[in-house]
Structure 1
Amino acid sequence: GAGFHLVRGILPAAPTGQQVTLSLLVWAPPVLAPFAFAGVGLLGLSAAWRETEPDSGILNLGGQRRLRLPYSKTQAYFFMVSLGTLVAVVSSAWDHARSGFENAWLWLPLGVGVFATIVPLGAGAIQGKLNRVELWTYVAAMLLLILTGVLGTYFHVAANLTSEAAIVPERFLRGAPFMSPLLYANMGIIGLLLLLPAEERERP
């Protein structure tokens, strides 16, 4: 999907140096959006592979097969939350760049997204449990993601309504993507679920 979107933003017949430009990528279909599919698949695989012991970093792939990771499964989830948020913030920045960030509200997802990318990355780099300050900083970042996603959805829906608040399907198809901000909320929810105990119960 990312490859097909990228091709739509390339001009093969253009002069050298003008075949791929930032302006073309901004106005092309969202190049990073299809990586959301890959992220969900990665989360599904990681959920299916249990650790032999909580936070041991050794995955049970079935039978006697084992895979040792350079970090625990919890740390891997932190890194995935950080990467997913990075994809969301870059996609948001490219989308909002079309308007030149003239509306001050457009800076909110950029600032929150950068903050919520750095925090889980740092949390994943920490060996052992987070202390109180680190934990509440992480929780605050995830809550900000959820709030930003909800606000973004509201603003996108409002932008697609007519002046009489009438719903015109064509405006929702070609206007502001009203479901895109929910990626922020999704990453925030996944990030909070990560704080659940690492112990995994065997199926009876």
Structure 2
Amino acid sequence: MPRSGAEARRRLQQAALELYLERGFDRTTTAEIAARAGVNERTFFRHFPDKREVLFDGEADLRAALTGAVSEAPDGLQPLDLLLRAFRKAEHIFEGNRPFAEPRVQVIAATPALRERDLAKAASLIAALAAALRQRGVADRLAGLAAQAGWAAFHQAFQAWINDSSQSLDAHLLQAFADLRALSLTPLADDSGSMP
């Protein structure tokens, strides 16, 4: 039996991930997760409201880290620089959780209900980042666009990091945001293919 709440929580997460990989999310019950973790089902529900949330634990910590980093950033930074700074400050959350992150991505990709939950969680984090930018004086329209674009760059960096562990998440973040800036400098062509 796990001795502490934190240990029980960690064991429940690991057990859930193993079972989701072995059997699939839909064919795994909370009772099976609890049994594999060496606890009872009541303990599972003390830590998680449902079996999906096992994979999304830590969202509140991530939200606090990202919005706090935006709020505490020095004056004079542009919105995308604020967001890059925030993602870099939160990097330790992801780096420390890499052994869980890789298989988690695989389970989410294979499960429509989890992909939907992942999108909802991302939308919530994007909204929080936009609100943090607005509090810094970024115009409403620009705050929303920056938060969406920044999240897309982060997501690109995160997936690249999962696929290529030879570079740090920080290196992938710097590359994704540099790519985003390069895209914004690319001239647009009109419908005929010529430049406006």
Q: Same fold (TM over 0.5)?
A: no
TM-score, normalising length: structure 1: 0.28
Q: Specify which structure has the higher proportion of strand.
A: 1
TM-score, normalising length: structure 2: 0.29
Q: Specify which structure has the higher proportion of helix.
A: 2
